[in-house]
Amino acid sequence: MDFLTDVTTSGLERALQGISAQQQATAANISNAQTPGYRAQRVNFEDSLAAAMNSGDPKGSSIDTVDAGTPANITGNTVQLDAEVTDLQKEGLQYQAVAQAISFKYSLLRTAIGS
């Protein structure tokens, strides 16, 4: 760990990576909402990040993409468009909140350094 990064900052940075992966999966799901046989994907990282934070190494957390497990329609597609649009909005808000938290931490550091 470098001198500018503590466990909290590393955790926030890893959370941004996880949320970004969620946004990419959600965008792919929305893009493939009409593709026959497409299986919707979900990204899991929260539990792994929480465990890694408790152990003091958030960078060691995993970001896993898995099948969403949603039921298939008549074409075999498992995307539920309403849920995907809601997820995309939620993920955008989460990303914004975590980015603001990181920005706040760095502004505190700049203040402490005196620049």
pLDDT digits (tens, 9 = 90+) for 34-70: 999 999 999 999 999 999 999 999 989 999 999 999 9
| 95, part of any domain | yes
Instruction: Find the largest Cα–Cα distance for the chain.
Output: 63
| 1, part of any domain | no
pLDDT value, residue 52: 94
| 88, part of any domain | yes
Taking a C-beta distance cutoff of 8 angstroms, is the pair 62, 45 a contact? yes
| 2, part of any domain | no
Q: At what angle do helices 81-113 and 7-31 cross, to 10 degrees?
A: 150
Where do the H-state alpha helices sit in 1-115? 7-31, 46-55, 81-113
> How much is the pTM?
0.88
| 51, part of any domain | yes
| 17, part of any domain | yes
d(C-alpha 91, C-alpha 26), whole Å? 9
- The tally of domains found in the chain comes to 1
pLDDT value, residue 109: 82
| 47, part of any domain | yes
Q: Which domain holds residue 30?
A: 7-113
Which residue bears the tokens 């074409």? 75
Checking if the pLDDT of 113 tops 80, the result is yes
